[in-house]
Structure 1
Amino acid sequence: METLYYLIILCIVPVLLVLYKVIFKFSNDDLPPGNMGWPIIGETIEFLFCTPENFVLKRMKKYSPDIFKTNLFGEKMIVICGPKGLKFLFSNEQKPIGRKAQVKTYHVTKILTLTLASQIFLGIDEPERIARLLENFDKVTVGMHSMVVNFPGTRFSKATKAASILRRELNGVIQEKKEAISRGGPMNDVLSHMIVATDPSGKYMSEAEIADKVMGLLVAGYHTVATTMAFFIKLNVQQKEIWESKKAGELLEWDDIKKMKYSWNVVYEVMRFTPPIQGGFREVLTDFTYAGFTVPKGWKLYWTVSTTSKNPQYYPEPEKFEPSRYEDASSCPAFAFVPFGGGPRMCPGKEYTRLAVLTFIHNVVKKFEWELIIPNEKIEGDMMPYPQKGLPIRLRSNSILM
């Protein structure tokens, strides 16, 4: 009897798979071309294991350079490519380092950015607390773009547990901050102002709402900024504009940051070479037509950065590091490069990123010289790239300037 049961299962599964593909094919004639892959998981495995960039490029060649359909993370998905597609979408919606040291850059930039974000957003600078945040934020960022499979040991499961720990930690900070405010303590961080903020009816945000918003700020101000800093080091950019910006020992001010136009062009070129994120997701709120195809309400959209930022049609000699390409705004097609997204949901942290990264560049270039220990280090990561070995470098202080 048991043998018969398994035989029935073996017979039914292939039939269901065939029916799934046939039914989907004939019930969606107006959809963009593409392949929905397997039931439930779709093409998620290939998306994760061949890198999003290669996944998208392969299907652009096979189906359409503008738009195609797929199934990712259990969601029906439309992928929009190229500047026209992006325009369409966004228009509609701390240790001291000695004389010479080996440093794993990526680890250092993560500590630096989370420490900075914790001070600005939470008003805390306790190393032990920040270390706990760092460990759990890493798990959350890794799990953000994983399969939604809540089994022990999976990325999603680890991310869920880490998020719970972070919320408890943040709730503790919120309580401490409330007590400090009640005693008349200073309100020089974002969290303090969130606590006392009210909506038009005079209602305060709940602690759960505050914790979620703060977590969003910390995630946004952590990984992408750290990645940009690390890849600035990897590309070994020893540009000299900042030598003249300040005398030794003088502090940077916001006006100084705004004047560092060439340095910001350098940062843009770093992000074009290695986008901190490969793209983003949206949900279709109403049926619409694009490139002659129908995109149904309820599907998800995936917009991609790398398919335009490395395209010679928009950027001549795309493998050449050339910050001057941004000096003439007309030479960079609109929506060909969107490291901060676009439209109403454009990343609100652009100026924060500018402040953090340019301050980092100012200090590291004026005070240090470095060389890569592994010049051709492999870049890993699916949606968020990172150097495989942590980007180790040999760091030497510029004693004349110190």
Structure 2
Amino acid sequence: MATPKGNSGYAVFGDKSAEFYKDPIAFVTKRIDEHGARIFQSRILNKPTVFVCTVKGVRDLLVEQHHHFEMGYKAFMYQLYGDNIMFSDAVDAARLHGVIHSLFGNGGLPDVNQLIDRLIERHLSHLDSDATDQSCPSTSIYNVFKRFATELSLAIFLGLDAEKYPELVEECIELTTTHWHGIISVPLSVKLPSWSSSWSSGYSKAIEAKDQLLKIINSRISNADNDNILRHIKEAGFDDTKELAQHLLCFVSALVPKALSSLLTSFTLMTAGPEKEAMRIRASDNSQYLHKVLLEVQRLVPPFIGGRRLTRKDSLIDGYKVPEGTAVIYITYAAHRDPSVFKKPDKFRPERWIDGEQKSEDVLSCFGGGPRSCVGVGLMKNSMMRVCSYLLDHYEWRLPGGQDLTYKWLPVSRPKDPPYVVFCSKGEEETEID
């Protein structure tokens, strides 16, 4: 039984939160190289913290020994989200997982595929002509996907079609944006010198936005009989209207649309250009191969860099002792590059999921794992497949030169600058513009 390398420093003065949140990938990579180990310790949010960057370690944490850990978000997210599955105890979480999985599983929500396809047609059918700058016919694709995903979320969970309720949809988008700014400005239970004094203002506005969103949500619940999908959600088995409203708040918040738009953007960037044409053709003709391509996107660019847990009792994670009371941060990005599991871990190679090199998808933790895995993974993957299939069937695309495609990783991964992509309808010759 080994002790994680590194040290947890001294209270306050030994805290490394500022360094971690500034560039989490650089923080983790530096310490893996320094310690020669993918499990190490430091001090984050003024708490001794063990970082887990191996496939086995993440699986131990999320699956094999999940009962030794509790979710590590309540202290700094509860006021923004209220009671929901993220903060429930194990028994209640299991009940809620059953309720929500019944909605998001295959065939769970009626008419959802038709809704997805309708929004795909609305937002993606003119990518070859919806240029933001006609002198360079390219599309700010992250923004397109974010709008698509936001409208999809509001349509599914609140029955709000942007064409039918344009003003209410815009109000919801503005509120979810304000709410999101509270999430990304929250000081996470510890005040450090680097945090701005303007935090309290942003956080208070986020709380006000949450209250306004809940008023809209409750109003929509009361009219659920007018919408087939929302009525189905209302009848799924939540204990009461309040519990339903709190979960709908989570589902329509900016978190879900940003995660979906992150994955769709990464898929577009990683399959762009003439050198990837054969891959796109194969993925267009073979949905199983497209699934493997998306697995590789999820492996290399997960929407969330990882997650956090708190240790209830002394535990063993991939051979390392983690004492009771310690925080544990698992880094999905790093675990997905574990060289003991993935050959050429930094290379985008969908074939690894076909040739027997990777026999199971369980090595991925893009959507968490175990009893606390993402409840919306089925809906997320279905939406991704339908969007990506549409793009492959209708377009060729490439990346204009001169772009900085460096990623930011917190709170949701995406390129630091919104990337531009040139789309050309299949069967039409692209006109090059210098």
Give RMSD over aligned pairs.
Answer: 3.1
CA-CA distance at 1:322 after TM superposition? 1.2
- Measure, in 1, the Cα distance between the counterparts of 2:42 and 2:185: 21
In the superposition, relative to structure 1, how do residues 298 and 105 fare at CA in structure 2: closer, same or farther (>3 Å)? same
Q: Is 1:139 the equivalent of 2:181? A: yes
**Counterpart AA for 2:28:** V
CA-CA distance at 1:105 after TM superposition? 1.1
Could you give the per-residue CA deviations for residues 324-345 of structure 1, whole angstroms, max 9, x where no partner exists?
1112455357754321221111
Aligned to 1:10: none
Aligned to 2:17: 44
CA-CA distance at 1:222 after TM superposition? 1.6
Provide the identity percentage. Answer: 22
Aligned to 2:65: 92
In the superposition, relative to structure 1, how do residues 230 and 72 fare at CA in structure 2: closer, same or farther (>3 Å)? same
Q: Is 1:377 the equivalent of 2:421? A: no
**8 A Cα contact 1:66 1:291, kept in partner:** no
Pairing of 1:14-93 with structure 2 (within 5 A): 32-37=4-9, 39-40=11-12, 42-49=15-22, 51-63=23-35, 65-90=37-62, 91-93=64-66
Q: Is 1:185 the equivalent of 2:226? A: yes
**8 A Cα contact 1:279 1:383, kept in partner:** no
Q: Secondary structure at the match of 2:59?
A: helix
**Counterpart AA for 1:339:** C
- Report how many residues are paired: 346
- Measure, in 2, the Cα distance between the counterparts of 1:92 and 1:212: 28
- Pick the aligned partner of 2:354 from 307, 327, 351: 327
**8 A Cα contact 1:370 1:395, kept in partner:** yes
CA-CA distance at 1:163 after TM superposition? 4.6
Q: Is 1:161 the equivalent of 2:205? A: yes
**Counterpart AA for 1:35:** N
Moved more, 141-150 or 65-74: 141-150
- Measure, in 2, the Cα distance between the counterparts of 1:354 and 1:197: 21
In the superposition, relative to structure 1, how do residues 145 and 105 fare at CA in structure 2: closer, same or farther (>3 Å)? farther
Aligned to 1:388: 416
Aligned to 1:262: 289
Return 5+ residue gaps in structure 1 as ranges: 1-29, 246-259
Return 5+ residue gaps in structure 2 as ranges: 67-121, 132-137, 430-434
Pairing of 1:279-298 with structure 2 (within 5 A): 279-290=306-317, 293-298=320-325
**8 A Cα contact 1:269 1:322, kept in partner:** yes
Q: Secondary structure at the match of 2:229?
A: coil
Could you give the per-residue CA deviations for residues 267-297 of structure 1, whole angstroms, max 9, x where no partner exists?
1111222221111011112222446654232
- Measure, in 1, the Cα distance between the counterparts of 2:33 and 2:346: 20
User: If the length of structure 2 is used for normalisation, what is the TM-score?
Assistant: 0.70
Could you give the per-residue CA deviations for residues 165-209 of structure 1, whole angstroms, max 9, x where no partner exists?
03412322322330x24xx534422xx44545656xxx5242xx3
Pairing of 1:241-256 with structure 2 (within 5 A): 241=282, 243-244=284-285
**8 A Cα contact 1:141 1:223, kept in partner:** no
- Measure, in 1, the Cα distance between the counterparts of 2:361 and 2:58: 9
- Measure, in 2, the Cα distance between the counterparts of 1:171 and 1:152: 30
- Measure, in 1, the Cα distance between the counterparts of 2:39 and 2:285: 47
CA-CA distance at 1:360 after TM superposition? 1.0
Aligned to 2:103: none
**8 A Cα contact 1:82 1:336, kept in partner:** no
**8 A Cα contact 1:84 1:335, kept in partner:** no
- Pick the aligned partner of 2:336 from 305, 309, 325: 309
**8 A Cα contact 1:228 1:276, kept in partner:** yes
**Counterpart AA for 1:326:** W
**8 A Cα contact 2:24 2:409, kept in partner:** no
In the superposition, relative to structure 1, how do residues 138 and 263 fare at CA in structure 2: closer, same or farther (>3 Å)? farther
- Measure, in 2, the Cα distance between the counterparts of 1:109 and 1:354: 15
**8 A Cα contact 2:55 2:336, kept in partner:** no
Q: Secondary structure at the match of 1:303?
A: strand
User: If the length of structure 1 is used for normalisation, what is the TM-score?
Assistant: 0.75
- Measure, in 2, the Cα distance between the counterparts of 1:372 and 1:113: 22
Q: Secondary structure at the match of 1:306?
A: helix
Larger radius of gyration: 1
Pairing of 1:111-126 with structure 2 (within 5 A): 111-126=147-162
Q: Is 1:225 the equivalent of 2:260? A: yes
Aligned to 1:176: 220
- Measure, in 1, the Cα distance between the counterparts of 2:128 and 2:54: 47
**8 A Cα contact 1:197 1:204, kept in partner:** no
- Measure, in 1, the Cα distance between the counterparts of 2:229 and 2:361: 38
Could you give the per-residue CA deviations for residues 203-238 of structure 1, whole angstroms, max 9, x where no partner exists?
5242xx333312322355322211010011111155
**8 A Cα contact 1:196 1:204, kept in partner:** no
**8 A Cα contact 2:20 2:27, kept in partner:** yes
Could you give the per-residue CA deviations for residues 347-397 of structure 1, whole angstroms, max 9, x where no partner exists?
122211111111111112222222212455222233422212201122233
CA-CA distance at 1:146 after TM superposition? 6.2
Aligned to 1:23: none
Aligned to 1:240: 281
